[in-house]
Structure 1
Amino acid sequence: MNIKALFFDIDGTLVSFPPHTVPASTVEALEEAHRRGVGIYISTGRPMAFITNLKPIAHLIDGYITTNGAYCVVGDTVVSRHPMDPDDVATVLADAIDNHYPVVVDGERTIVVYNNSDLVDRIYVKGLGVDVLDYSLTLKDLGTEGILELSPFMTRAQEAALSPRLRHVTSGRWHPEFTDFTRQGVDKALGLREMAGFLHLDISQTMAFGDGGNDIAILSAAGIGVAMGNSADDVKAAADFVTTDVDNHGIAHALRHYKIID
């Protein structure tokens, strides 16, 4: 097995719900893999500003796929960026007003909570540990930044009603109370291919880990896709291997199974 790069989702994969620190067994496993020359990369729906819960492994991380593939970086180098169609952004934000739901708007540097409600605090802050939001920011503060991702706190029914009006959007739902919209065709699998190209790796040399609906594409695309034991059935079906839960040594178990570590 010639795996040279590992790509990890965060929520439900590296940390559990509600969020806490990365399990000790995961830290030890990633340290061993890194010592053996295997690259460690993050693959998340979170924008870079929201990656606040990985301190125990921060020194091991070689690069990031963020905002579901819309913004990928290695060190100080931006590997790729894919802003959304402004017309689709406007359509979503108008629908948010009409149907009374908030939207987290992810610019390249600035994060804005549009049409805020207590849903954002309950799910993002209390549920996911995202405590870095500045609620005073408005759309004007985005300036000329491209919008990489929208996270509307909408039901599946609301999403189904809105979708026919969106021209160039991919939806990556991994939470029952919100979804992540990116530009059409932009997902973690695209991020993986772009990162692999930048790193001069064949896709067969990559292994991806995930647990949510927005991980299905990357699990299918990677050389080896590993679903966490806490994953939904459709995520498990997309994977080559189903490991144990995040809190039951799932990462270490899979890395040992494939002999990435001893």
Structure 2
Amino acid sequence: MAAPNDNVGNVTGLLNDSLSKLGFEVYALKVGWYNAVLSPSLRLAYPDDTLAVVVLSTPAMFEQAFLPFMEERGCQGVSDPIDQCVKHCIKSAISQCFPGQKVDVSFDYEMLPSRKPKFLAQTAAHVSGAAFYYRQADVTDHPWGEKKMFGVCVHPRFGGWFAIRALLVFGGVEAGSELVQPVPPDCVPSRETRIQLLEGFNLRWQDWSYRNIIPPVQTYSQKQRDYFSTPPGQRSALLRTWGFLHREEDQPDSSSDTHTVMDGHG
């Protein structure tokens, strides 16, 4: 592994310079922080001090990256257009910032052959300090009995108006002792509000009210809301009305957004 030096600052600085203008945020973490809270079958096969970076998209990504991407490149093949855009932006940033360096990139929609996700997006966001992952266990004396309530991350600035898109692992870079694990901001501290958050996410996610559990500094634009409110199988028709797809082009796959909704990332 490379000596720590200022590797963390170099890596995150370069990525931030490349991706922030496209509406993304980057947060550094050590693989060991992530592995420490997961069962062995879900851990990443890297030493604990290996540097990783979690990439989030903010509300600005739609206008600053996605719409320009569609205007310039359109949708290639059958995969989801948002996924294509995110992959293009992140892969381009890596090739420009770290030419010749091996970076293991996992996207939020990718699955292992076992059908488990390649990485647990909300866990990565939590241990990096990017967003607090509120789970059923975080509600004292919860009222749901045996009912399973899925957890959701809340960003300290954007509330629920963001998405966790990718995990980048820099296999040859040691984070070292200068990278100290942050505590994610607990912006939903009360029991009552946590109940409201988890019930909103699990029972009424379509109305998006859970995203406003704290006052966000920015939300999705109306155009972005229209896009994500449209069922995935009908989004190609919407994109055509915006002038981005020709009728003969392949239809985007309608299956790739199911996990996104349930993971709180649409």
TM-score tier, shorter chain, comes to: under 0.3
Q: Greater relative contact order (Cα 8 A, min sep 6): structure 1 or 2?
A: 2
Structure ID, larger Rg: 2
The normalised TM-score by structure 2 is 0.27
Q: Greater strand percent: which structure?
A: 1
The normalised TM-score by structure 1 is 0.27
